[in-house]
Amino acid sequence: MPRRRRPPLTTLEIGAYTAGGRLCRRWAAERLSGDHHLWALDVLAQQDAQVLCALGARRYWHWFERGWADAVAAGVLA
C-alpha cells in the first residue's frame, strides 16, 4: 500500500505550500516560461521572505514544490 503524503501542518509549512500554489497560478496567468525558481525567488523576496527565512531553505522549497505540483495537478498550467 503506498504511503499517503502528509499535509503541511505548521503555519510556516502552510505558508510555503500556499506560496507554491499562488505563484504557480500567477506564472500561468502571466504566461511565463523558463526556470520558475529564479522568477519565484524574485517574487518571494518581495512577499514571502520571512517565511523562507524562518522555515529554512530546504524545508521551504520542499513545501513550495508540493504546492506548485498540486496546482499543476489541478490543471492550472493546462
Per-residue pLDDT tens digits for 23-71: 888 888 888 777 777 777 788 878 888 888 999 989 999 999 999 999 9
Residue 48: burial class (beta carbons within 10 Å; 0-12, 13-18, 19+): buried
Structural domain boundaries, residue 28 = 11-73
Evaluate whether residue 2 is within a structural domain: no
Tally of domains in the chain = 1
For residue 16, what are the contacts with CB-CB under 8 A and spacing of at least 6?
A: 8, 48, 51, 52, 55, 59, 60, 61, 62, 63, 64, 67
Do 62 and 15 meet the contact criterion of CB atoms below 8 Å apart? no
Evaluate whether residue 3 is within a structural domain: no
Evaluate whether residue 6 is within a structural domain: no
Evaluate whether residue 5 is within a structural domain: no
Q: Report pLDDT for 21.
A: 92
Residue type, 21: G
Q: How do residues 5-29 score in pLDDT, each as one tens digit?
A: 888 999 999 999 999 999 888 888 8
Cell numbers 530546504: residue? 58
Q: Report pLDDT for 78.
A: 67
